[in-house]
Amino acid sequence: MNLIKPIKSALISVYHKENLDTITQLLKQFDVHIYSTGGTQQFLESQGAKVTSIESLTGYPSILGGRVKTLHPKVFGGILARKDNSEDAQQTEQYEIPTFDLVIVDLYPFEKTVESQASDSEIIEKIDIGGISLIRAAAKNFKDVAIIAAQSQYRLLIEMLEKNNGGTTLEDRKLLATHAFATSSHYDSHIFNYFNQHTQLTQLRVSFKEGKVLRYGENPHQKGVFFGNLYDMFEQLNGKELSYNNLVDVEAAIALVEEFEQTAFVIVKHTNACGVAIAETPLEAYQKAFACDTISAFGGVIATNRPVDLVTALELNKLFFEVLIAPSFHPEALGTLNSKKNRIILQQLQPLKNTAQYKTLLNGVLWQEKDNVVENEQQFKNITEKIPTKNEIKALEFALKICKHTKSNTIILANENVLIASGVGQTSRVDALEQAIEKAKHFGFSLQGAVMASDAFFPFPDCVEIAHKAGITAVVQPGGSVKDVDSIDYCNKNKVAMVFTGVRHFKH
């Protein structure tokens, strides 16, 4: 049977006092003996509760500027004592140690202190010692003690007390212990990561407090969960719940559109851009991006770095798309876009902050820094007799930004403000180029005077030859092939400008 164990005594030591008043009133109602210290004790007493101070229990005051308050055998003995162990019972009686049925702790806000860019000394002082020890002790002894390890769990405790008339069941206490160890491990992970910024041990700690269960994963037969807080990143203004695939494409669209300072629109399908353009106005940028590939844009994910006005919304409304992301929306534009109930409209509240990428494989995890490098004219090394013109340089810079965010092997064909066509995810660079040329022809684009960007070097001169014959006049690539000279010779003979960057942008 899942017996209800009444709570007769509680130890409370919290940093945040908000919402503690309801619990205080419940504990008073059930005549619970409360032990506390410092500011928590003062708060509880202000709520009319009778409180025994930890100092009077231990015979020691809070010392070392508050660093030591609860670290004492009379506190931890009362938490760790096993009620069904006769030796434990004998010792608690011998040393006059009161036992506790409930421990409520709220840790110092270490994570938020780091995020606030506080000084090292302020951050170190927010490493909780007593609190984390209380949590682990109470969670270990869950058979006898209920542990509340964070303010977010107050509501859960209130529900349990009301349901069980001031008590908890073993099932309740085991659930609370699980929450407690989640809290302590998350807390320690962030402390480790803070210190490891400087020591850089080859170890990995990743922890998120929140997880959102998705409808399914990449496919309906796969489970999926998003860990993190989407509402820090977005406000969803319309539409259905975001799916796993939506989230992947939203990340891809935002990562690309954030590369541009000018007014830009990006259309993404399966993480690859099928439309990218910059222009003077959002409407013009969207129209040019859509014209890149009017077929793939159907059901895509769209992102812009400018507010969406009514005239742009009216044009967008002609297309079926899954998601639209923008920094803001004019009210009348939002009214138009919300006309389709399932269409997802996201207002982006902050930029992407990820600095690392993770991938599970081979029964382990692969980690790498995020690719934050984008080359421009300053990094271009002219290696052909013909030097690119100013317009070609702008086009090469534009094409490289897209190339970096496209699946390898990739070739990008563009002018200075529009993606003309791309070859993506091909097993050879020649295949990627031929795919891009064919796509440009299909949508009626001329490649005369366009430029080409490649994510990696050309092992043979075939790509520059094919590109030149299609009308390409300038090329950007990392360089580094043992046969670079063959590509350079072809460009020199045919008056094609080519620059090297020295930076590869594989994306798998």
Q: Choosing from 140, 190, 340, 386, which is the catalytic residue?
A: 140
Q: Identify the CA nearest to 503 among candidates 365, 378, 362.
A: 378
CA 250 to mean position of chain CA atoms = 12
> Contact 473/397 with Cβ under 8 angstroms?
no
The residues with which 238 forms a beta bridge, in sequence order, are 345
Q: Choosing from 28, 209, 212, 270, which is the catalytic residue?
A: 270
33-36 and 51-53: which strand pairing? parallel
Spatial distance between the Cα atoms of 116 and 28, rounded to a whole number of angstroms? 37
Q: Let me know if 270 is a catalytic residue.
A: yes
> Contact 210/230 with Cβ under 8 angstroms?
no
The residues with which 453 forms a beta bridge, in sequence order, are 412, 476
Backbone angles phi, psi at 224, to 5 degrees: -145, 140
Spatial distance between the Cα atoms of 119 and 153, rounded to a whole number of angstroms? 30
Q: Identify the CA nearest to 414 among candidates 302, 289, 269, 502.
A: 289
Lookup result for tokens 């317009």? 391
The tokens of 83 are what? 């009620």
Alpha carbon distance, N-terminus to C-terminus of the chain:
54
Q: Let me know if 112 is a catalytic residue.
A: no
Spatial distance between the Cα atoms of 14 and 8, rounded to a whole number of angstroms? 19
Secondary structure letter of residue 414 according to DSSP: E
| SS3 label, residue 397 | helix
Q: List the catalytic residues.
A: 140, 270
